[in-house]
Structure 1
Amino acid sequence: MTESLEELEARMTEYRAAISVAKRRGDNVTAGQLRAELRAIVQEYGRRLDEMDDEPEPEPEADAHESTAASKIEASKATPPPVPRPGAASVPIREQAHQALTILDAPAGPKLIAETHEAFLFEKVVTTRLGSLRRDEERSFTAQPFARPYYICPALSHDRLTPVRGLLAVSTWPLEQRIIGPLGPRVDFLVHARSVARQIARMQAAGHEPTLPAWALLRRFALNIPGAYEGYGSPDPARVSQAAEAEVDVHAETDQATRQAAAAHARERLKDPVRMLFGATRLGAVEAAEQQ
């Protein structure tokens, strides 16, 4: 479906906000990707304006109803309706995952990654493609280590340092951030909620209205955090952020101790850079590494 000029204007506004966020975080790679996408939208916007300028004036003697009907028939003959392409993406799947994970700021599963990308970057992500992404990234890293500025890698279990099924992270994050301990799922959920709330607050501060999927995402987080939401209307981003932060503080000391101990163990025992990023793939991999 062809976007209206108003929709294109809204997308340009949202992209500029996202670029500003990426620059403040020091994420120049994402900022560059977003700028390239923004340029494409601006070009499309200009093309649409030019088309409007070139539209001929209607013939005054023609009947308005007949003229409209005839133009529709001719247009349908000249230009067939576009064929939908499910899953078509303007950026590679690994970059989509990186953009969403950068917003969430903690390991996440394919469904949440897809929802976050659609809510804030207006593009659907095919979750089934995320399932094979980690293996593709590991093969790429094994063939040419550190050839890319970042890799999408799995979160690691705190005890065996094996990949946590279904959770993706970013290789440039500190090792502690990529490790999941007993409290990790809850703490990361709260980090996700806080990050989504802050992203919405930044958009509002810049004068941009968040999308309905963004509000729905925040509401789902808020419903599972005590004191974050009363259950009606749109959640208050500041209140959600504060409630999530308060609960994070409760778990922070224990959770950080677990992560730091596991990270220290990994740095001491897992000498192989592939294992440091993608984890021990066998139950005995850590013990075998210790004997080397």
Structure 2
Amino acid sequence: MNGPITLPATAEQARHALLLLGAPAAPRLVVDVHSALFDGDLSMPALAALRRDPASGLAAALRPDLTAAPGLVTLAEWPLELRIVTPAARRAGALTAVVRVAEFVAARPGAGRAAHLLLRSLAEDVPQGWEAADLADAARAALASPELVAALAEEEPVRVEAAARAASLPAAQQLTGAPAVPSQRGGELG
């Protein structure tokens, strides 16, 4: 007699996918990674509901101005430095995620069709990813490109300073981002 199968809670499913990715990610990617590589029923509506729940363990990625970066989700437990996204950091995070997913799939000899379709979709964002004999190696090469390395070095002071400012925010705002400051309209006072 078989007992009932217990699937991980939705928050734990999202956590598994984000831990594998290792960087802020689009919700669709989180759901696709979980669906292809883990057991569970994580869906976009369920992930959207989790993002609104402060107890879920999910947090917003933050821009250098400390507002929420739209379209990215992270784990609340990650250090602020990892949750601050800039263009080069976002690119490096995406490439790192490709390396991690490709290595995870390679370590699972019985990876199914869904895992290979996921790798195929990830290859689209890696230079020569479609032609590469090893997608992880192609992503590593892109990570080591002089252009990306230089862009990361240039952005590093911005990210460090933003993380220091974020540390002074109340805990809730560290997870959701600071409210956007409305722009001032009009001109000089007469």
In the alignment, is residue 93 of structure 1 matched against residue 10 of structure 2?
yes
Q: 1:96, 1:117 within 8 Å by CA — same for their partners in 2?
A: yes
1:256 equivalent in structure 2: 156
The letter of the residue matching 1:151 is G
1:130 equivalent in structure 2: 47
Q: 1:193, 1:244 within 8 Å by CA — same for their partners in 2?
A: no
Count of aligned pairs between the two proteins: 178
Q: 2:13, 2:34 within 8 Å by CA — same for their partners in 1?
A: yes
In the alignment, is residue 239 of structure 1 matched against residue 130 of structure 2?
no
1:280 equivalent in structure 2: 178
2:186 equivalent in structure 1: none
The letter of the residue matching 1:265 is R
Q: 1:200, 1:237 within 8 Å by CA — same for their partners in 2?
A: no
Distance between the aligned counterparts of 1:172 and 1:178, measured in 2?
10
SS of the residue corresponding to residue 183 of structure 1 reads helix
In the alignment, is residue 108 of structure 1 matched against residue 6 of structure 2?
no
- Alignment of structure 1 residues 131-280 onto 2, 5 Å: 131-137=48-54, 140=55, 151-159=57-65, 161-203=66-108, 208-230=109-131, 236-247=134-145, 249-267=149-167, 269-270=168-169, 272-280=170-178
Structure 2 CA distance for partners of 1:189 and 1:229, relative to 1, 3 Å? same
**Residue ranges of structure 1 left out of the alignment (5+ in a row):** 1-42, 48-88, 141-149, 285-292
**Residue ranges of structure 2 left out of the alignment (5+ in a row):** 183-190
SS of the residue corresponding to residue 7 of structure 2 reads coil
Distance between the aligned counterparts of 1:243 and 1:212, measured in 2?
26
Question: Deviation digits for residues 232-257 of structure 1, max 9, x if unmatched?
Answer: xxx52443343343245454323433
How far has the Cα of 1:103 moved from its partner? 0.5
Question: Deviation digits for residues 166-204 of structure 1, max 9, x if unmatched?
Answer: 21101111111101113233222212211112212332x
SS of the residue corresponding to residue 61 of structure 2 reads strand
Distance between the aligned counterparts of 1:197 and 1:246, measured in 2?
17
Q: 2:32, 2:118 within 8 Å by CA — same for their partners in 1?
A: yes
The letter of the residue matching 1:252 is L
SS of the residue corresponding to residue 144 of structure 2 reads helix
Distance between the aligned counterparts of 2:158 and 2:36, measured in 1?
33
SS of the residue corresponding to residue 90 of structure 2 reads helix
The letter of the residue matching 1:239 is D
Normalising to structure 1: TM-score of the pair?
A: 0.54
Structure 2 CA distance for partners of 1:226 and 1:132, relative to 1, 3 Å? same
Structure 2 CA distance for partners of 1:123 and 1:193, relative to 1, 3 Å? same
The structure showing larger relative contact order (alpha-carbon pairs under 8 Å, at least 6 residues apart) is 2
